[in-house]
Structure 1
């Protein structure tokens, strides 16, 4: 996240000059002299208060230049007097040289033994040239121990220290150890440093650590130097290019305007101007709160650049912009050009959505199919793009390549919903072995009544009596209303059995045999009567099964309702989104027995959870029976709601308690793990929070996770939105 500035970052520093007029105008005032302006700029205070500490400041600016010192000839006398131990003459000579050269200091080796002075440093310089810091330090330690009073020359010490500083910055930057980079970079003087690449690393560290005050000061010191220390023009350009990452477009434009009087720099900053436009459009595209189209003058430079340079990224950026402001035809044209220049998932997604917005579904499907390999990187998108064709098999035969792409996306994403869609497609195409396999996968990922029924129908068509018995034992109580529709395929000649007295439900299903048919239905044997239960009470059960909820309620209007009827009424009301009435019906149905009471309890908890009445839902779970799978489903939602509510109330320990209760019964998805990380963070458990966000960052590309990583590793306060 870039620093937010309430005023132009670079420009606000110019207020207080001895010039009249607005500071922005001052930057472009051709009457003022750059030599007069720059020294004043360098002395301005920071525009922002420090982020982490009010004591954060940059080192004092070093002297711009040192006066020339004495040469070896002029120093000969003071060395001679020192060797003679004539201290009075040493001091007199020192005062003379000091008057002549104010910066002169007593030589460090003045009283060093002659043996130490005579030591050759050639070996040290060889190690220095090799960049062997460890070897040079070892050699200096050896000499210090072996030669009394020995010290490396001032020249070597200065250059060796510089080499160590550069090495430490380079190594830490490569490792993204920003605290270490910032610590080493603080030894640099941004107003005089002659190696700007070190300052750029320092800038990267300050940006990563969100130290906006120091970041602004470093940029300002680099760009607005005194004439004798000014950066090379190419380095000024590079520095401003980096500033586009860290500051608002308005801030950067002010600096670009200031340097525009230099033709070389102005030419080099042309790319910066275009990047500012790109960033402005990208920010608009990513901000859901912004709906109105940008002014023409803001979008026009990007359109011109896209037509001139044919950059696919620019075309795509304009495409997303046009799509957002409601021009899908324009968006589609840009995405098609981008896709022709560079076939990737981003451009294919854009073109697909632009075509869908124009109700050109077949063309959209063709785009998804043609670019299925690229879209495989986003299996959710690919599944949704291909799903409609499988949900409507009457549109024609499906290419095996499409089938493979869809199935691979389903497996990659473990999508129960799309697995069910593919299973029904296979069933309706009389591919019962395939439908059985996909219904089994879908049911394994998430149970539902439709998936159990689909699997049972597939088994029935395959004549798998034992499989049906096992499935009924597993789900018969949980989904009691589907089994009347399940009949085994007719057995071979001579194998039809007569019903036994007191036969089980599954045995009776074998008697009600059917002949497999193509299409999406299973035809009953005409000799088998429809169960009486489906026709009583004016057909309310049949209406419910057909999802004709209004007809169901009409059939249940007269007379007092039994617990079973109240249960069906509750489900119909819930299907019509009449939650308060459904709550009353389910409450009445709790008076029933066995599966009726369990189903009523389940329905009532769903209604209560929709209304965020978490404690009431928990009471129902504790008071009434419920199947284990439903109980896990309901408790998972209850503990999630409790965790979110506690977090919103800033009760972070209660948040963790609820999440711990939930994870004991169900896997924890990424969004809940993020909530756990922020709860630890706000409780001061930095190590736990850091580990959670680090682990999430390895598996998720999510803005919330990135904020968590920045907050925990950068020690910056933050919280999810």
Structure 2
């Protein structure tokens, strides 16, 4: 879905603030956007603003000093047995092009394919191959012994095995044909391709199994494969050399890709893979080989913070509790401000969100949104405001951006639903906001929103309106709350037939409907004003502890009443009157599940008017059905 840009009017560099109290990194201020600018960075102790650090490696210090200009930092720290040879003595990485120091290429053509066609008496191909070679080498002439007698062997069965990837089978067939046909040799084309394929297969299999010495040996056998066309083999070789402790040649392998290969994706992946394996000094030296773009930025500038990004991500997701060093965060924040990196600003937001530092998280999400108007950044601001308790601001922002992403619309509905169901008059939305919310609920067909409106209108004594919303909720997404809402509305409207229909249709799926009791005009006010109490003689007479619990209950000190009942039970055991009082005490504390469980247990032991009324009162109180 396209989004409206909320880019800044003007840009300013990051102000990094590390306070002595909590070492927070202030979000960069990129100007004023739709969400407002982040809070201004507070000055450090003494009023001196911390300096802006240039980007620097953030990993732990390495015993190897970083090399300048991409030079190999490991040449002087090789194992003793490796220091006696040049870094690439065991095998040479194939260069991208021939150099002046290399021997001249053969002056004549490879006529193996021509001889093969001649041996097969395939004259059409013989003629075509002669014309091709003459075009490449004008002074060349076909060999006089081209049609000399020799073994006629078809290579097609070998090529068939080659095509299926059965390189071992193809090699075995070559050897068999050589033994069966004296003097026969496979064409150069087949020999080279089979040797290359066998080496590639061996390297890939050995790397997958972690057999790193085998990878190195296979690469040594076919150095011609180590080119930009086979960069995956270069990556396997680099890892194998790291795993076997040969850091210098591992660095050479990675550096070769950066110096010779042009594909940007391959270059970036090479540095990423090397950074995950080499000590920090090697990663820094490779990053120094990055090419400078037209904008003056290195192609690898952002990679130096990848380890820190991973560390912050683990903190944000709750997988780690150890926080990164303050200095590392400050350098990263300076980079974010300078490079205007929206993704990294968002990462800072989730980092602080994971630590429940809602204000800092909101500031970083706002900063991210000023660079990139992605709905995810707006969502981060909304969630941070919600967690901080600023429900009005969170709700307004969510409403204004509800059309930009389903997630934001969902949060908006949840926010208003919480206010509608709280029952607190100071948090209830006004009439205009309720109408606005109803429009959003209708448009989105939100079952949760419809339920919230249903319970809200029950509280406002507009039961017909409530029933309509419960019907919508059940129609959009059937749930226990929606069905119970229908039952409550039917009972409040004294719609006996409607209540019966609800029970008949949904009773099997929602057994709690069987407990639903419609309060009569006489019983409801009485039950609401004065619940049944345990009186002297109701359960064998009250002792002193039970009288004390009853007194505490009547005074509204329900926690004390429960404590007294617990002490009494520990001392004197079970008492029916005490259990009924415990049920009413739990009900007053809105612990509906506990109250229902007590009344049901007593009703099972002996059903009385008090136990039945307790069950009904619990249900009606929980669902506002009085």
TM-score for both structures, normalised by structure 1: 0.46
Go from structure 1 to structure 2 and tell me whether the alpha carbon gap of 1:323 and 1:244 turns closer, same or farther (over 3 Å shift): farther
**Alignment partner, residue 515 of structure 1:** none
Q: Is the 8 A contact 1:306 1:315 kept in 2?
A: yes
Match of 1:483, SS state, is coil
Aligned counterpart for 1:396 among listed residues 423, 426, 431 = 431
Distance in 1 (CA, whole Å) between partners of 2:287 and 2:153 is 55
Aligned counterpart for 2:63 among listed residues 21, 24, 29 = 24
Distance in 2 (CA, whole Å) between partners of 1:595 and 1:114 is 116
Unaligned stretches of 5+ in structure 2? 1-58, 95-101, 109-145, 422-426, 536-548, 616-626
Q: Is the 8 A contact 1:165 1:184 kept in 2?
A: no
Deviations 1:317-359 (A, max 9, x none): 2223344556544432331232243333431232113323554
How does 1:24-43 map onto structure 2 within 5 Å? Answer: 24-25=63-64, 28=67, 37=76, 43=82
Q: Is 1:566 matched up with 2:583?
A: no
Q: Is 1:153 matched up with 2:187?
A: yes
Q: Is the 8 A contact 2:490 2:498 kept in 1?
A: yes
**Alignment partner, residue 232 of structure 2:** 200
**Alignment partner, residue 417 of structure 2:** 387
Q: Is the 8 A contact 1:591 1:597 kept in 2?
A: no
Q: CA deviation at 1:153?
A: 1.9
Q: CA deviation at 1:443?
A: 10
**Alignment partner, residue 432 of structure 1:** 466
Q: Is the 8 A contact 1:281 1:321 kept in 2?
A: yes
Deviations 1:593-635 (A, max 9, x none): 3599999xx9xxxxxxxxxxxxxxxxxxxxxxxxxxxxxxxxx
Match of 2:433, SS state, is coil
Q: Is 1:466 matched up with 2:497?
A: yes
**Alignment partner, residue 537 of structure 1:** 533
**Alignment partner, residue 364 of structure 2:** 334
Q: Is the 8 A contact 1:459 1:468 kept in 2?
A: yes
Q: Is the 8 A contact 1:590 1:596 kept in 2?
A: no
Q: CA deviation at 1:566?
A: 1.8
Q: CA deviation at 1:316?
A: 1.0
Distance in 1 (CA, whole Å) between partners of 2:337 and 2:529 is 70
Q: CA deviation at 1:313?
A: 0.6
Distance in 1 (CA, whole Å) between partners of 2:591 and 2:435 is 44
Match of 1:467, SS state, is helix
Greater relative contact order (Cα < 8 A, sep 6+)? 2
Deviations 1:235-290 (A, max 9, x none): 6964652237745xxx5523134557868699554332133443343333334652
Q: Is the 8 A contact 2:336 2:345 kept in 1?
A: yes
Go from structure 1 to structure 2 and tell me whether the alpha carbon gap of 1:198 and 1:425 turns closer, same or farther (over 3 Å shift): farther
Match of 1:278, SS state, is helix
How does 1:222-371 map onto structure 2 within 5 Å? Answer: 223-225=250-252, 230-233=256-259, 238=268, 241-243=271-273, 246-247=276-277, 252-258=279-285, 269-287=300-318, 289-290=320-321, 294-324=324-354, 328-371=358-401
Distance in 2 (CA, whole Å) between partners of 1:577 and 1:363 is 30
Q: CA deviation at 1:397?
A: 2.7
Deviations 1:512-549 (A, max 9, x none): 5xxxxxxxxxxx89xx98579965437999x99xx985
Distance in 2 (CA, whole Å) between partners of 1:218 and 1:260 is 21
Distance in 2 (CA, whole Å) between partners of 1:529 and 1:239 is 74
Q: Is the 8 A contact 1:328 1:354 kept in 2?
A: yes
Deviations 1:149-174 (A, max 9, x none): 6542234321355368779999x9xx
How many residue pairs match? The answer is 457
Match of 2:219, SS state, is coil
Q: Is the 8 A contact 2:291 2:298 kept in 1?
A: yes
Q: Is the 8 A contact 2:413 2:441 kept in 1?
A: yes
Go from structure 1 to structure 2 and tell me whether the alpha carbon gap of 1:407 and 1:151 turns closer, same or farther (over 3 Å shift): farther
Go from structure 1 to structure 2 and tell me whether the alpha carbon gap of 1:564 and 1:409 turns closer, same or farther (over 3 Å shift): farther
Q: Is the 8 A contact 1:42 1:220 kept in 2?
A: no
**Alignment partner, residue 602 of structure 2:** 589
TM-score for both structures, normalised by structure 2: 0.51
Match of 1:321, SS state, is helix
Go from structure 1 to structure 2 and tell me whether the alpha carbon gap of 1:35 and 1:484 turns closer, same or farther (over 3 Å shift): closer
Go from structure 1 to structure 2 and tell me whether the alpha carbon gap of 1:198 and 1:303 turns closer, same or farther (over 3 Å shift): same
Q: CA deviation at 1:374?
A: 4.7
Higher helix fraction: Structure 1 or Structure 2? 1
Unaligned stretches of 5+ in structure 1? 1-10, 13-21, 45-59, 74-111, 486-508, 513-523, 603-721
Q: Is the 8 A contact 1:320 1:331 kept in 2?
A: yes
